[in-house]
Amino acid sequence: MKLLIDEKAHVMKSINKLIRLSVVFGLLGLCCVFLFLLFGFKAWSVGIGIFLGLPLLIAGIVLYIIAVIRDLRKHDVIHE
Amino acid sequence: MKCILKILIVLLSLAATPAFAYADEKGISSAELIRQAGIVAVVVAIIGLIAVEFFYKVKIERSSYKWFLFMGLLMLPIFAMLSAITTVMDETKTVASCASCHVMDPFVHDMQDPNSASLAARHFKNKWIGEDQCYHCHTSYGIHGTLEGKRDGFRHWLLFVTSTFKEPMTFKGSYPNSNCISCHGGTPKFLAVESHRVLQHKLTENETSCTTCHGPVHPTPLERPGIKPSQDIVEQGMPVNAEIQAVKIYLKSITTVPVAISK
């Protein structure tokens, strides 16, 4: 029983870590995209907004999806 | 009461102003609308994520927290990405986007110069192409052309930001005649020119380029202000276009009608 609780706590901790990481990636990506949308097409803004911002956003979204899947597994909504 | 009456008079007088008295406004484009909506989505997502993750995480219910994350980490970022992609796809068509890299200045300035006789300048001043002139001529038609245009744009951006481009700038790719013929081909003015009829097959097969006779398209390296031409060009001058000579000889051999060359 104690092992099960420990395992659940460990999973919860890893989910929280993933969420925090995805929030950081998401925020960085959103800031980069914001600069591009605000300043329009410039050599530097395309570099920051498109070639840096979009991969960061995608990484954030992927991490969030992984976290959601783990959370659903933890709650036995989806099974392996 | 008097104040309301005054406001009403002002509003009615504005409404009575004929339409032609207003400045010509194009209205907002769908791409611009998506860009503005994207800015709003990004701002909302940034504020929401910071507030929820760093300040209110323990103060709000777990279900509300999850809903905020769903919006801030999935829905709004996806919309922001779509907005950014739409903006970049739309803005790369504009002349301003080409001019945003200063190496393009001589070409854009020449095109917008009313005294220039280059092919690009004639298209611009006569409004033969209404807007996005660079994109219209330098992109082949269809999705294939659009993809090629984006690929070339990325290559140009990379060369610019890494400062690995070489002066004087030269056009490396091939220029299909279909880019010109899709607008000019089949028009009475086009068909009235004898050389067009004579060279029809060669033009269709891209064996002869339209720009051979109708150039120069852009200023040559020696004509570009602020550009230092290479030592070869300084010493030997601009290379003679062998294709121009070949076309002239070919036309002379098959027809006695004088070749009309657009000035």
Mark yes or no for CB contact B46/A31 under 8 Å.
yes
- Tell me phi and psi for residue B183, to 5 degrees: -100, -45
> What is the C-alpha to C-alpha distance for residues A30 and A66, in angstroms, rounded to an integer?
20
Q: Which pair of tokens denotes residue A1?
A: 């029983």
Q: Tell me the pLDDT band of B263, cut-offs 50, 70 and 90.
A: very low
Size of interface A-B (CB pairs under 8 A): 89
Q: Tell me the pLDDT band of B89, cut-offs 50, 70 and 90.
A: confident
Q: What is the pLDDT at residue B11?
A: 53
Mark yes or no for CB contact B80/A60 under 8 Å.
no
Helix (H/G/I), strand (E/B), else coil: B58: coil
Query: What tens digit of pLDDT does each residue of B26-74 get?
Result: 678 888 999 999 999 999 999 999 999 999 988 889 889 999 999 999 9
Mark yes or no for CB contact A61/B84 under 8 Å.
no
Q: State the complex-level ipTM.
A: 0.89
> What is the C-alpha to C-alpha distance for residues B172 and B116, in angstroms, rounded to an integer?
24
Query: What tens digit of pLDDT does each residue of B115-135 get?
Result: 888 888 888 888 888 888 888
pTM above 0.95, yes or no: no
Helix (H/G/I), strand (E/B), else coil: A4: helix
Which residues, other chains included, contact B126 with Cβ-Cβ below 8 Å and sequence gap of 6+?
A: none
Which B residues in the span 40-59 are in contact with A, Cβ-Cβ below 8 Å? 42-43, 45-46, 49-50, 53
Mean pLDDT of B230-241: 55
On the CB side of A29, CA atoms within 13 Å amount to 29
Q: Which pair of tokens denotes residue B222?
A: 């020696």
Query: What tens digit of pLDDT does each residue of B142-172 get?
Result: 667 777 777 777 888 888 888 887 777 777 7
% residues pLDDT > 70 (chain B): 73
Which residues, other chains included, contact B69 with Cβ-Cβ below 8 Å and sequence gap of 6+?
A: A19, A23, A64, B52, B53
Mark yes or no for CB contact A50/B84 under 8 Å.
yes
Q: Which pair of tokens denotes residue B260?
A: 């009309």
